[in-house]
Structure 1
């Protein structure tokens, strides 16, 4: 697959919704790398008035603003407003992938296919695995059987929760090698944790797992209490964007890697990592990992036996972190000696351990335009607008009659 040169590539207007398996390897020693002062961002942030104005504008727009590439060239542009539709969404913003998932043809999921609503595991399995494109609306709670069951997702699918009701409980969405053009949005994926198995060495119950997939957008989901990884992006998956999700109450959270190759390109923005211990994310052998405007809180508990850390640039990864906010985090960001990590503009509060930064990594704007919100605005924006949103999932009109539960169970 084509890789990038130092050249800006055309893309749709941006928005905010926003080697081994990660977590293995030696524990880093505290104190290596430059340490910014607590509460400072390593750069001159906007004044308090500017931040409040930015928050007010983005709150009014439900945090899903869209800018043209020209407007997004400078981080200072983040205080501007964008056109808002009558339902509260900025024009053209709600259903367009951004970041790396927007490149090389983009990610459109099931656009153009039939729109269906499912309420059972049988219905979700039927349409998610179909050869044809589908927009699959998940209404209500689907509890997978047996416990930890995989639900296969084929190419050209959008799976989206209806409002805040769509849930997958004790199951996994699985993207096998070659799967492409998939959008997963506005779902709660929860409760495959096995009590007493804090390290989950005996299970592989992920929330979403993909192997050698490409063009995938994971947006506005909530992950909680998963045994093993909440989101595992593995084995040379490419052109992936992970935005505006909530990752909550987990040990191994979000891993990228499981490959000796250096191919993965990933954008990670406006996510809330809350009460998560490891892999927030751990990025191993990523060609490009761009993390911006993420929020990490309540990670380290006194006396917690689990070794905790935030962002980890591993192997040969090139990572850029921008305008994120870390509160109560051990080892907020760290890098292997073989990796590169550039950090700019983030705020650290009550953090300890490693704050690594070395190498040149890459310049994200050589690949796509994006809006960079002020780090000081991140807690208000991300805590309100990450995870499932009531207005998402309602803007698709069913083109097929929804199956009733009995018919779904027979399908």
Structure 2
């Protein structure tokens, strides 16, 4: 949109998700393990196999609002879709569903954002799930949604202006939604945002995504309230311009182990009254890698190479908050982040397979 720890419930979710629970990938030699709280039963680095979780970490995993943590369509029927009509039927249904996207689905008319209802898991079957020419919209009141392991791409319009202002075609737009997990997707070449988290969307975790080749990448805000809680970790921002993310009026924003590469506009922009913590991320060839305006920013353990800040950019301010007062997590070394994310961001062949 254009701007101006194990539990009975978790066990039940695993049983309800036989298609993508306890999945493994082989880690490359020397690769670190990623967030330990999310990768249970993980072998030592470099020995494999890796087990990807079926439920999120971060703020999307916390209880609250009478409905957390995020479980998506757990407990609902599993369906496999190959057409836009099938996909739209199930994402808009009142009942919970686990929706496997098997193959390429071309969305018409171009730029259509399918209206996703609550209690849904939309997951690519291995690397085959492509949404081309459209995306998803989660309106006010929608909650408990997982969007995972998909490629969503290509709504660019040849007659649009350089600022992508004539067409509002997002990959994923969220307006006052809550308990959302966006994980292991590849999002690119959209005629507006890749992810727009708007109007007090909260308890959102965005993890292990590859966001590339876009102008407006990841915008957060469009609100005067300061209530949202968002975790953004292990994402690869590549060849993008602005909003990586632009984060306005967020009560608690935790970003860690992200990789920003070839960013021509600006990197992590902390705006409004946002309180942000940025940790162990890697910035390579980024204009203004991270900076704070009126909010608070704590940054630590980050690596910045081939990058510059403009005059007057404030790199840190205030004490923000302590993420560990909300949830446990373990950081990967910043130096390991580029290789780790090249190997594991975006759709994985054994998720949803």
- Partner residue, 2:50: 89
Which structure's CA Rg is the greater one? Answer: 1
CA contact (8 A) 1:11 1:103 kept: no
8 A Cα contact 1:101 1:241, kept in partner: yes
Show the counterpart of 1:98. Answer: 57
Per-residue CA deviations over 1:296-338 (Å, capped at 9, x if unaligned) read 11223xxxxxxx00001100000100000000000000111x2
The residue aligned with 1:133 is: 96
Look up the match of 2:316.
Answer: 357
Structure 2: how far apart are the matches of 1:379 and 1:114?
Answer: 38
> RMSD across aligned C-alpha pairs, in angstroms?
2.3
Q: Of the two structures, which has the highest relative contact order with CA contacts closer than 8 Å and spacing of 6 or more?
A: 1
Which residue of structure 2 aligns with residue 143 of structure 1?
A: 106
The correspondence for 2:151, drawn from 188, 201, 205, is: 188
Asked if structure 2 preserves the Cα contact closer than 8 Å seen for 1:58 and 1:81, the reply is no
1:236 equivalent in alignment to 2:200: yes
Select which of 230, 253, 264 maps to 2:228: 264
Gaps of 5+ in 2: 8-26
Name the SS for the 2:219 alignment partner.
strand
Deviation string 1:205-247 (CA, Å, 9 cap, x unpaired) is 0000010000000000001100010100000011000000000
2:330 to 371, 374, 390: 371
Aligned residue for 1:384, secondary structure, equals: helix
1:147-174 CA-to-partner distances (Å, cap 9, x unmatched) read 1012010000000001111011111201
Structure 1 residue 310 corresponds to structure 2 residue 267: yes
How far off its partner does 1:82 sit?
A: 4.1
Please show how residues 212-251 of structure 1 align to structure 2 within 5 Å. 212-251=176-215
Q: Which residue of 2 aligns with 1:303?
A: none
**What residue is the counterpart of 1:319 in the other structure?**
276
Q: In 1, distance between residues paired with 2:187 and 2:316?
A: 29
Structure 1 pair 11–269 and aligned structure 2 pair: CA distance change class (3 A): farther
Alpha-carbon shift at residue 89 of structure 1 (Å): 3.2
Q: Deviations over 1:237-260 (max 9, x none)?
A: 110000000000001000000000
Which of the numbers 115, 126, 141 marks the counterpart of 1:178?
A: 141
SS in 1 for 2:307: coil
Q: CA deviation at 1:66?
A: 3.6
Q: Which residue in 1 is equivalent to 2:24? A: none
Structure 1 gap segments, 5+ residues each: 1-9, 13-53, 72-79, 301-307, 395-411
Partners in 2 of 1:377 and 1:153 — Cα distance? Answer: 36
Name the SS for the 2:254 alignment partner. strand
TM-score by length of 2: 0.86
SS of 1:223 mapped into structure 2: strand
**Does structure 1 residue 119 correspond to structure 2 residue 82?**
yes
Q: Counterpart of 1:250 in 2: which secondary structure?
A: strand
Q: Residue 42 of structure 2 contacts residue 50 of structure 2 at CA under 8 Å; is this kept in 1?
A: no
Report what 1:348 is aligned to.
304
In the TM superposition, what is the alpha-carbon distance from 1:57 to its structure 2 partner? Answer: 5.7
8 Å contact from structure 2 (residues 298, 318) kept in 1: yes
Greater share of strand residues, 1 or 2? Answer: 2
Distance verdict in 2 for CA 1:135–1:312, change over 3 Å: same
The normalised TM-score by structure 1 is 0.74
